[in-house]
Amino acid sequence: MWTCNACGRNFQRTNQHHCCGDQTVNDFLAGRSRQALEILDALTGALRNIGPVNLHATKSMIVIAADVRFAYIIQIGKNFIDLVLPFKTVHESNLFPENSTGTGNQRL
Ligand SMILES: [Zn+2]
């Protein structure tokens, strides 16, 4: 575990590339609708039932990480959250119509 001296965030690898910023998760969530915050609470609650996760804000997204970053909230709407789960390989999704496959990074 390595802690960046500039931003105080913890990373798995020493000197791991990242953007030090002063944006907080609360900054990112300021002004969001109650419904969007409830969706985020449900999402993070479900993830924390699996294991510990941390949220980190950047200028344009919230990063969800355990030992490594594994998901990104790239947009929060009035009644939705745009969550990106990057995969190295294509996985069929049960959220898309039959006979549909994803393209690697699927937006749900
Ligand atoms: Zn940093």
Q: What does the pLDDT look like over 33-64, one tens digit per residue?
A: 999 999 999 999 999 999 999 998 988 899 99
The pLDDT of residue 19 is 76
Low-confidence ranges of the chain (pLDDT < 50): 104-108
The pLDDT of residue 52 is 95
The pLDDT of residue 100 is 52
User: Cα(90) to centroid of ligand 1, in Å?
Assistant: 32
Report every protein residue that has its C-beta within 5 angstroms of ion ligand 1: 4, 6-7, 20
User: Cα(33) to centroid of ligand 1, in Å?
Assistant: 29
| Residue that the structure tokens 């931003």 belong to | 7
0.75 exceeded by pTM: no
Kind and range of the H or E run holding 27 = helix 25-29
| Dist. CA 31–CA 100, nearest whole Å | 36
